[in-house]
Structure 1
Amino acid sequence: MPSPTRKTKKTGTTFRAVAVTAAAAALTLALSGCTRLETTSPSTVRATDAQARFGTVDCRRARCIALTFDAGPSEHSARLLDILKEERVPATFFLMGRRHIDRYPELVRRMADEGHEVANHTWTHRRLTELEPDGIREELERTNAEIARLTGRRPTLMRPPQGRTDDTVHRISRELGLSEVLWSVTAKDYTTTDSDLITRRVLDRSSRDGIILLHDLYDGTVPAVPGVIAELRKRGYAFVTVPQLLAPGKAEPGAVYR
């Protein structure tokens, strides 16, 4: 996905073309390297601890689905939060640091205050698999520290940029108390501003225990959210955060979920 800033959208045309192609193939590339990527499904996690507490929705019985938004906060995030509040829908936000968290700290606080899960999407959106261990640690820990400063709570979830991960990323994530969360549904909203198309892509691919990947920084995404919510509700889905989707199980640091 392109680097999520307005500046890049205006001036980084070449980078956009390369990044879009890379994002579309991210999971394939992750699987084709030296590391065999093993992921855990939400239903598997739920079966591991029948005595643990879970949220207001019991996803062992309900038809649950999780909305997740990457690379915010952005100029569109306030409107998205208004929609989610009006619809009473919780979401999981994988936030970026530079030019996002540091630009919109009040939105980070609002996300936490309104009951959303605030998670880590690195400080600069660099591909973690191309960094040395100290670089990976810096990308994750700096974001963790800033979110904790603003919300009073350290993230327990992270999403690697473009879904690229490997054994080194798993190890450092485990050290930092972070579980990796990928996705099962993507609208590829970085390729279009057509809100109707984004809505159709989500609806065509959604199923029970789905983790939907969207980006609230792109112009077409937030306008698509009300339609996505309305139609998925009509189909009988209950919206939950990623931790609620896994409950009564719990995500383990260093493990990968999809």
Structure 2
Amino acid sequence: MKKDQLLTRRRALLGCAGALGAAGTAGVFAALTGSEPELPAPVPAPGPRARRPLTSSAYRLEPLTGYGPRRVTPGRTPVRRKPLLRVSGRGRTMVLTFDDGPDPRYTPDILDTLAKHDVRAMFFVCGEMADAHRDLVSRMADEGHVVGNHTWSHPLLTRLTRSRIRSQLERTSDVIEEVYGEPPQWFRAPYGAWNRATFQIGADLGMEPLAWTVDTLDWTTPGVRSITRRVEKGAAPGVVVLSHDAGGDRSQSVRALRAYLPELLDSGYHVTVPRRQYT
């Protein structure tokens, strides 16, 4: 009889435990055993996610407008059907770009002029030139300029196979990352000749295609005044200006920059580097 009463009491207590949940179970456990159970330590509430510290090179990709680029995982960059022609930004923002370099005959003078006016620009470098003149790419990095990919040897990409297009872009990105400190986020097709394969491979490598709004035609050596006039006439918010710092005699480009850059700044233009676009 006593054994039946004890079983009945235990069943009643266990029934209460099921109704009371975890806290009740602890009490029942104590009632049956005369000791307190060891409960798991409370799990702390999740706090704010720690932000990754900025690397020493992060400032290079933050435009003077205050807009910073979002980090993009290679392979997730949008595949464009056409290149970006303009950039976004506050007010009268413009971007100066220089292709084909770096060339020790002209690039240092361009960098000197940009530094004099505390302006950042974009340099779309050819891999073979960047590899031969790594000191100039390092200087671009140190002075806050953005370095983009302009292929290894400046071929007409629309006449190449996919494997050769990839090789042209990959080799250049590798050199830029090694010298600049991080892979390029922008690329530009030589001669402005784009095709589906170029857009796809560029996106696979985590790069956005950037063309231009104003072509100075400086490669035709039209004269300093002509180059200056094209820039000043084409100036407008969001404009991307195309010039060259290699690929021929670029002395006119050097002298034209000295003329039109202070004019743009005096007119209220904010000459800077772009942020990444995602629309």
TM-score of the superposed pair, with normalisation by structure 2: 0.67
Question: Structure 2 matches for 1:5-154, cutoff 5 A?
Answer: 38-40=82-84, 42=86, 46=88, 59-60=89-90, 62-74=91-103, 75-98=105-128, 100-154=129-183
CA contact (8 A) 2:85 2:240 kept: no
Inter-CA distance 40–150: structure 2 relative to 1 (3 Å threshold)? closer
Counterpart of 2:256? Answer: 224
Question: Structure 2 matches for 1:148-227, cutoff 5 A?
Answer: 148-192=177-221, 194-217=223-246, 218-227=250-259
Letter in 2 for 1:230: P
Distance in 1 (CA, whole Å) between partners of 2:242 and 2:86 is: 15
Distance in 2 (CA, whole Å) between partners of 1:125 and 1:39 is: 17
Counterpart of 1:239? Answer: 271
Aligned-pair identity in percent equals: 36
Distance in 1 (CA, whole Å) between partners of 2:201 and 2:113 is: 35
Inter-CA distance 174–37: structure 2 relative to 1 (3 Å threshold)? closer
Counterpart of 2:277? Answer: 251
Larger mean CA deviation between 199-208 and 182-191 belongs to 199-208
Inter-CA distance 146–39: structure 2 relative to 1 (3 Å threshold)? closer
Cα shift at 1:139:
0.4
Letter in 2 for 1:251: Q
Counterpart of 1:21? Answer: none
Letter in 2 for 1:187: T
Distance in 1 (CA, whole Å) between partners of 2:86 and 2:270 is: 14
Give the match's secondary structure for 1:221.
helix
Distance in 2 (CA, whole Å) between partners of 1:146 and 1:160 is: 17
The CA deviation string for residues 11-34 of structure 1, in whole angstroms up to 9 with x for no partner, is xxxxxxxxxxxxxxxxxxxxxxxx
Letter in 2 for 1:110: R
Cα shift at 1:82:
1.0
| Structure 1 unaligned residues grouped into runs of 5+ | 1-35, 47-58, 244-249
Distance in 1 (CA, whole Å) between partners of 2:134 and 2:200 is: 29
Counterpart of 2:65? Answer: none
Q: Which runs of structure 1 show a deviation greater than 2 angstroms over 4 or more consecutive aligned residues?
A: 36-43
Inter-CA distance 68–141: structure 2 relative to 1 (3 Å threshold)? same
Distance in 1 (CA, whole Å) between partners of 2:188 and 2:137 is: 17
| Structure 2 unaligned residues grouped into runs of 5+ | 1-79
Relative contact order, CA 8 A, sep 6+: which one is greater?
Answer: 1
Give the match's secondary structure for 1:72.
coil
Cα shift at 1:131:
0.7
CA contact (8 A) 2:99 2:123 kept: yes
Distance in 2 (CA, whole Å) between partners of 1:131 and 1:41 is: 24
Distance in 1 (CA, whole Å) between partners of 2:162 and 2:85 is: 27
